Amino acid sequence: MAVKHSVVDLFCGVGGLTQGFKLEKFKVVGGYDIDKSCQYAYEMNNKVPFFAEDLNLLPSKQIDCLFIKNTTKILVGCAPCQAFSTYSQKYKNNDKWRMLYSFGRIIDEIKPEIISMENVPNLKNYANGKVLDDFLEVLKRNEYYITWKIVDSSDYGVPQSRKRLILFASKLGEVKFLKPTHKNKKVTVYETIGHLPPIKDGETHSDDLIHRARKLSTQNKERIKATPYGGGWKNWPEALKLDCHKKESGKTFSSVYGRMRWEGIAPTMTTQCTGLGNGRFGHPEQNRAISLREAALLQTFPETYEFFNPNEEMSTPKVEMHIGNAVPVLLGKMIARTIRKHLKEYGK
């Protein structure tokens, strides 16, 4: 069967979005990311070529030539969102927002038929909305139909609270978002990681090198033991509490050092999602934070997904960063299904 559509994934990381498109049977022809350490995972799991390039500098024609001739060009990506988060706006030297302008430049020069962009909700407010408005202006002057909104990933089967701004642009007509598939029946933490074998903090399971949990300090081990099911630091005896939590300003940080609940959904997976003190990342029952594999499953990566070259030493912080930065696979699949339905509506 002749290929009708071809996809290029910008800022692809280890391939969460690409994996979603592959599940929907799209032909992904290449992924671009400046971080070369993503290459092994991206290519091994997706069988798609990875290009380690700085998209601020790369000529658009090098991307354009990847699209298969006489196919509908689909350009997708998640420009690094750290610059748009509330936390990172404290830092004046963070210029990663330039990536979205590079995305716009590439669109301006390639003019693909279909575009999808995923980012954090706060993008709409960043610099009083100027960054998003500038991106929309590129699309408007190229006569795209534009649709965007904030979606909750858990509404589409992702077992975590992860809201994202999803944008579609099309030369064909307005793209209509798919209705939520899990609005009233969320996929739970138990359904996602409850089957994994137990491990201790600092331990790696012999059958899965990604099922690895951080070693806890003696004090943090006492803290997790003192944390009841679904609880957090407020349940600890005074001797275990941090000085910052005893201050009035610290009382608002209720989610740190917390345990997840089996019957609930997980918090947003971040680039520090296996650290006990970095959020509600405590295992529901075991006295540790979640493992790398558990974080990957909560990002809806397949359990067989490989994140590092077995012939090289694994960097736990790097794998954790790759997992936290990824587009959840099922959110990527929703984006791909939305585009698939849109193309069918217009006979493409």
Domain boundaries, the chain: 5-180+328-345, 189-325
From 10-19, 184-193, 239-248, 265-274, the region with the lowest mean pLDDT: 239-248
pLDDT of 133-183, one tens digit each? 999 999 999 999 999 999 999 999 999 999 999 999 999 999 999 999 999
List CB contacts of 41: < 8 A, sequence separation 6 or more: 14, 15, 305, 306, 307, 308, 322
pLDDT of 7-21, one tens digit each? 999 999 999 999 999
pLDDT number for residue 129: 84
CA angle 331, 332, 337 (to 5 degrees): 95
pLDDT > 90: percent of the chain: 82
- Torsion 293-298-301-302 (CA) sign: positive
pLDDT number for residue 187: 98
Give, as one character, the DSSP assignment of residue 286: S
Domain 189-325 in the same topology as domain 5-180+328-345 = no
Q: Is 12 designated active site?
A: no
Q: Which two tokens stand for residue 181?
A: 């598939």
Mean pLDDT in residue range 187-208: 97
Per-residue confidence band for 128, with pLDDT thresholds at 50, 70 and 90: confident
From 12, 81, 244, 273, active-site residue: 81
Q: Which residue has the higher pLDDT, 92 or 73?
A: 73
Residues 178 and 342 sit within 8 Å (Cβ to Cβ) = no
Q: Which CATH number fits domain 5-180+328-345: 3.40.50.150, 2.70.70.10, 3.40.50.300, 3.30.420.40?
A: 3.40.50.150
Q: In what helix (H) or strand (E) does residue 147 lie, and over which residues does it extend?
A: strand 145-152
CA 91 to chain centre: 22
Per-residue pLDDT for 95 more than 80?
A: no
Q: Which two tokens stand for residue 20?
A: 């979603």
Per-residue pLDDT for 253 more than 80?
A: no
How far apart CA 126 and CA 133 sit, in angstroms, is: 10
Per-residue pLDDT for 220 more than 60?
A: yes
Mean pLDDT of the chain: 91
Q: In what helix (H) or strand (E) does residue 106 lie, and over which residues does it extend?
A: helix 98-110
Q: Provide the whole-model pTM.
A: 0.92
pLDDT of 97-110, one tens digit each? 688 999 999 999 99
Residues 144 and 170 sit within 8 Å (Cβ to Cβ) = yes
Say which CATH class 189-325 falls into. Answer: alpha beta
